[in-house]
A = this chain, B = another copy of it.
């Protein structure tokens, strides 16, 4: 480890503050959905600062924006990055902090005149949050983006077309943006935790071991409408009761038997039209996440079985419509080790944890060594203007990112 190597906290803070003003919502948050005016302005700002710092700048056919510190002898490049887009009315840390930290890593390496066997590339990946598709730039870069991903995008087909046009991009470009994995030395990202664990445990740094798998379902229970005053409790086919029982059973299942997993029912709806009519239909939307491949598969089957069980118990029919599904992935062990060594060299406390949210590293670990660190989110609020991290923690994270980047770069051969 480079004992004397540190980022310049004031310089990074100036960048972070400048970026927080672009698309500011006035209450601490930013509104920078993919290819909105504010988002495009943030990306221009990134290239300008990169150029002023003496870095080569690049924009690939997926719209990924890069600042490159080229090493003379390098044939490969270590990517360090995150994203400048935000959810609508989101926080100013999510993504943006990782981009300014990546830029600061490049400047610190440049200032220290380190010679590394690979080039360093600070990268702002396109549409991580999914205003359009979700992790679009990283999928394109990894070469895992498929034409059908663009056919039914989350934002709707027409919105995608219009948005791409605004940004001067094309679908053909997106589908051709794959980078040869042989030219990649890895991908590192620093991000806010977006959860309470680090703050609660008093740790400085979270070493991400993997990213959860995510699957979602729409569920419809079908029963029979009937008069709730004259129909005995035992003679009912109450879709609302089946749905409610499934919600409770799914929570119990996850709490009791899948402590590393989560389940959430974001939506429930039944309305028989009157207080005295038994609901014939009940709709649920739920999502579950698990960091472990075998648990992910087992939990999927068990949740489906719980829905069927609730239907049987209350004389209902149930339909399960699966939504998008992403399998869990593990971060590269040697990258995790590099982050840990870097944290130790800085006397920062750390713990291993999985990421409960999706990130670009999910796409990139499929083609190159990849890893992430988290810094504490003391109020655990994210995707909201109240999103907050202590600046000291941001600096700590950037220093870990810097030292790990040097380590990973030096271990590239």
| Residue from A244, A248, A271, A274 having most chain B Cβ neighbours under 10 A | A244
A4 at the interface (CB under 8 A from B): no
Q: B254 touching A279 by the CB < 8 A rule?
A: no
Q: B229 touching A289 by the CB < 8 A rule?
A: yes
A:216-271 near B, CB below 8 Å: 216, 225-235, 238, 240-241, 243-245, 247-248, 251, 254-255, 262-271
Number of interface residues of A (CB under 8 A): 63
Q: Which residues of B contact A230 (CB under 8 A)?
A: 193-195, 355-357, 380, 382
> Within the assembled complex, what's the spacing in Å between the Cα atoms of A26 and B358?
56
**A367 CB, min distance to chain B CBs, angstroms:** 23
A:194-229 near B, CB below 8 Å: 194-197, 212, 214, 216, 225-229
A285 at the interface (CB under 8 A from B): yes
Of all chain B residues, the one with the shortest Cβ separation from A275 is B287
> Within the assembled complex, what's the spacing in Å between the Cα atoms of A196 and B247?
30
Given the known interface contacts A196-B231, A230-B193, A383-B227, the answer about A216 and B275 at a Cβ–Cβ threshold of 8 Å is: yes
**A86 CB, min distance to chain B CBs, angstroms:** 14
A:270-291 near B, CB below 8 Å: 270-279, 282, 285-287, 289
Given the known interface contacts A265-B240, A275-B266, A287-B276, the answer about A212 and B229 at a Cβ–Cβ threshold of 8 Å is: yes
> Within the assembled complex, what's the spacing in Å between the Cα atoms of A216 and B229?
12
Q: A266 touching B255 by the CB < 8 A rule?
A: no
**A91 CB, min distance to chain B CBs, angstroms:** 11
Q: What are the interface flags for A164-205 relative to B under an 8 Å C-beta threshold, 1 for contact and 0 otherwise?
A: 000000000000000000000000000001111100000000
Q: A195 touching B233 by the CB < 8 A rule?
A: no
A:297-325 near B, CB below 8 Å: 323
> Within the assembled complex, what's the spacing in Å between the Cα atoms of A243 and B230?
25
Q: Which residues of B contact A278 (CB under 8 A)?
A: 264, 266
Q: Which residues of B contact A384 (CB under 8 A)?
A: 225
A348 at the interface (CB under 8 A from B): no
A interface list, Cβ under 8 A from B? 193-197, 212, 214, 216, 225-235, 238, 240-241, 243-245, 247-248, 251, 254-255, 262-279, 282, 285-287, 289, 323, 355-358, 380-384
Closest 8 CB pairs of A and B: A228-B264, A195-B230, A244-B247, A229-B356, A275-B287, A194-B230, A244-B244, A230-B356
